Amino acid sequence: MDSGKKSRGRNQNQPIEKAEGMAVSMWPDIFHLFISRPEPINVLRQIDQQRSRISANTTRQANQNTIMTTIKYKNRKKRANRSLIPNLRLSVYNKVSAWALRAVGEIPSSSNPKTAKPS
C-alpha cells in the first residue's frame, strides 16, 4: 500500500470534531482515492463478451421472423386488393351494360295515355 495515502481503518467513519463557526461533514474524504476511468468500460466490455451468442441469434431470428411475417401479410393484402379490383370492375361493367341493354331494348310502357304507344 502506498505510504502517501491515508490509512483506512475502523475509525474512518468517526465524526469529526466541529470547529467553531464551521459545518463539518459526516462523510469520509474519498477524493484522495484514485479511480481509473477505463475500468467501468472494461467491465462493460466483459459483460458484452460474456453474452451468449445463442441468445443474440435467437433475438435476431425472432425479429427477422416478425419482419418477414409482416411483409408476407402486407403482400397478401396487396394481392387480394389487386385481384378484387378487376373482378369488381368487371361486375360493375356487366351490371351497367345489362341496364343499358334493358333501357334500350325494353322500354317500359307508360301509364300516361298521351305518351302510350298505339296498339
- 68: in domain: yes
- 77: in domain: yes
Q: What is the pLDDT of residue 75?
A: 85
**Average pLDDT of the segment spanning 75-100:** 65
- Domain count within the chain: 1
Residue 80 — very low, low, confident or very high, per pLDDT cuts 50/70/90? confident
Task: Count CB neighbours of 54 within 10 A.
Answer: 8
Gap between the Cα atoms of 40 and 48, Å rounded: 12
First-to-final CA distance of the chain? 130
Q: What is the pLDDT of residue 1?
A: 45
Q: Is the pLDDT reported for residue 71 higher than 70?
A: yes
- 58: in domain: yes
- 98: in domain: yes
Q: Range of 69's domain?
A: 52-104
